[in-house]
Amino acid sequence: MSTDPNQTQSTPSQTSPSAAAPSRRFKPRELQLADGGRLVLNAEGSIAQLDGDGNQMHAWAPADPDWPSHAIRFGLYPQDATVPPTGRYVEGMRPPRR
């Protein structure tokens, strides 16, 4: 029995490079915009653009192709999926003799 609270299986879409790792958590933040609105980063990584009254104008999920262009304002960069390393063994190669 696993004690991992986030038990998800990898799907083909999760193994390809994406805007953000699927299990990544973000620190909620808020930026003031020049037009009086706000840009809000939520804990799951979605970004919402709010107008001056607090109404949502746009929203971007981490899987959205436009997400990185808005996430950069929070200092976030897209990350490739983590891939387990392969061994250093190369077929047909032997280590040098000493």
DSSP secondary structure of 28-60:
-EEEE-TTS-EEEE-TTS-EEEE-TTS-EEEEE
The answer as to whether 15 is a domain residue is no
Q: What is the mean pLDDT of residues 45-62?
A: 93
The answer as to whether 29 is a domain residue is yes
Q: What is the mean pLDDT of residues 46-65?
A: 92
The answer as to whether 97 is a domain residue is no
The answer as to whether 34 is a domain residue is yes
Q: What is the value of pTM for the model shown?
A: 0.56
The answer as to whether 41 is a domain residue is yes
Phi and psi (nearest 5°) for 48? -120, 140
Does residue 17 carry a pLDDT above 50?
no
pLDDT value, residue 76: 86
Query: Total structural domains in the chain?
Result: 1
The answer as to whether 8 is a domain residue is no
- According to DSSP, residue 74 is labeled G
Residue written as token pair 């004690």: 3
The answer as to whether 16 is a domain residue is no
Range of lowest pLDDT (3-12, 59-68, 80-89): 3-12
Residue 62's domain spans which residues?
21-74
